[in-house]
Amino acid sequence: MVEFIRYSATALMSYQGTWKTDKQKFVGAEYTLGKRTLGPVESDGSGTVSGSFRAPSGFGDAHMVGLVDAKGDVVAAGSVTLTPLATLRDKTEPQGQFFHIHVDGLGVGPYTSDYDVLYDNHLLGDVTAVSTGGVANFTVRAEGAVGKHTIQLISGSVEGQPYLNLAQSPFSFRSNYSFTVNVTKGHPVTVSDPLPRPKPSVGQHLTASIGSGTVGQSFTLTGFGLAPYHSYQLVWDTMAGSRVYGQGYGAEQVPLGEVSTDAFGQFTKKVQVPNELGGPPHNIQLMDGTKVAGSTTFRIMPSVVYVPKTVVAGQPFTIKMLGVGWTDYDNIYTVAYDNSAIGYVCGFNSHGYVKIQLRASETPGIQYVDLYPSIYKGQQKMPSLYGLPLLTYDKDHPGDWLPAFHVVIHVVAKPAVVSGKSSANKA
């Protein structure tokens, strides 16, 4: 009698990823192993099993695959290597709009878990997919002159730079990608990511409505369940100091004023968001002398508050931000000028207020400044993601979500210099 045995074809090594942080410090990418069922197969009369399966979406690199019997025992095993696939949604976009790129199959190793992105041979930033299961979606702004431009995805930013001889490396199975795109005439304007709809922050005897916002916004603090006809002090917890200066940094409190409850032990107070650090939510405490009678939280979101209308070619100009954070993973914004990463700014020492000091290029016309979230420093050594725009910030960034800002600068020609000769009157 011929016996047909049913098995489950199983990916014995599948991954789940997350960004690990330790309070204000960035630790790095962390992966856990799991199993994933691909589907059922049956052996034939000779004990041979054959079947075909579509490679699942998710992390790339080498995966162990095998056959699992009804008892859950692995009876056969092998391996398969999945390589990334990158696709471009639309090849043509007007100036100031965005090219959308999808990558499936980013890996989990230090040499395979990111791509560097180049625009016209200028390094723009990094692409990761740690917390998004190996799948990355990101945009590149259509910048520069009307016509053809090139977007490249280059493997391996081990030292924060693209690795340019991939074919000679042990990871030559990976693919680099190059897309020729077409930029058409457009009318670019300054845009930023919309902030999430704020929700109330309900704490102990104290609620903030709204629970997040930008510097200068108003919100309402409501106290409840407190002693009637009693006075309390409101204080705002923050941080002050610097990571690069010898005195270090520490916690600090800012008074928000006095409140008094009514006969029901309640109060309301309208508060303006302080010109303070962003980052993790700030504690707001209701103090009764030295005793904490209530508390809630409020998160300051970063904002761009000043962009010059016009700039003279070759001259300096300043962009101003408020609400920049203080942890390893939110205290800097990285700056790209015409899709070329040129540096970063830090807001910790200046309480979240940042003046980005730039110089306009010499060519009159539209120029672009893009401000991206990034990571300042951390324990992770490879790949090095520090100080470069993280283009997948929207879905794959440690800590709380942060917006990007896409600024347009109108650069005008230098005033003409009129020269001439003058002759003095002879006596």
* pLDDT for residue 423: 47
Instruction: Report whether 206 contacts 225 (CB < 8 A).
Output: no
**Does 17 map to a domain?**
yes
pLDDT number for residue 11? 55
326 and 286, same structural domain? no
The CATH number covering residue 159 comes to 2.60.40.1930
Structural domain includes residue 178: yes
Same-domain pairing of 95 and 51: no
Mean pLDDT of 109-113: 90
The domain spanning residue 209 has which CATH number? 2.60.40.230
Q: Measured between alpha carbons, how far is residue 425 from residues 51, 217, 420, 422 in Å?
A: 103, 66, 16, 10
pLDDT above 70 (res 322):
yes
Rounded average pLDDT over 260-275: 97
User: 41: Cβ–Cβ under 8 A, 6 or more apart, which residues?
Assistant: 6, 7, 8, 9, 49, 50, 51, 67
CA distance 287 to 258: 9
State pLDDT tens for residues 193-224.
999 999 999 999 999 999 999 999 999 999 99
Whether residue 10 is predicted with pLDDT greater than 70 in this model: the reply is no
Indicate if 134 and 212 belong to the same structural domain: no
In this model, does residue 53 exceed pLDDT 80?
no
Residue 143 lies in a domain: yes
Smallest CA-to-CA distance from 106 within 80, 87, 125, 132 is with: 132
Q: Are residues 283 and 327 in the same domain?
A: no
CA distances from 125 to 52, 82, 157, 298, 392 (A): 37, 24, 10, 31, 9
Within 10 A of 17 (CB to CB), how many other CB atoms are there? 22
Query: CB atoms < 10 A from the CB of 54, how many?
Result: 7
Given a cut of 70, is residue 397 above it in pLDDT? yes
Are 269 and 306 within one domain?
Answer: no
Top pLDDT among 425 and 363 is at 363
pLDDT of residue 427: 38
How far CA 374 is from CA of 126, 146, 313, 324, 345, in Å, comes to: 9, 29, 29, 12, 10
Check pLDDT > 90 for residue 133. yes
- Examine the domain organization and report whether 227 and 292 are in the same domain: yes
User: How large a percentage of the chain has pLDDT more than 90?
Assistant: 73
Number of domains in the chain: 4
- Check: CB of residue 153 under 8 Å from CB of residue 265: no
Give the residue from 134, 158, 184 where a domain finishes.
Answer: 184
C-alpha 133: how far from its chain's center?
16
Distance from C-alpha of 154 to C-alpha of 132, rounded to nearest angstrom: 20
Which of 271, 300, 329 lies at the terminal end of a domain, its last residue?
Answer: 300
Q: Is residue 190 part of a domain?
A: no
Q: Strand pairing of 212-213 and 291-300?
A: parallel
pTM assigned to the model: 0.90
* Cα–Cα distances in angstroms (integers) from residue 185 to residues 96, 195, 209, 361, 408, in the given order: 9, 29, 44, 20, 15
Kindly report, residue by residue over 284-296, the tens digit of the pLDDT. Answer: 999 999 999 999 9
From 138-152, 233-247, 264-278, 403-417, the region with the lowest mean pLDDT: 233-247
Domain interval for residue 381: 302-412
Output the pLDDT for position 155.
Answer: 86
Distance CA 205, CA 221 (A): 10
pLDDT of residue 12: 55
Task: Give CA–CA dist 52/262, Å, rounded.
Answer: 72
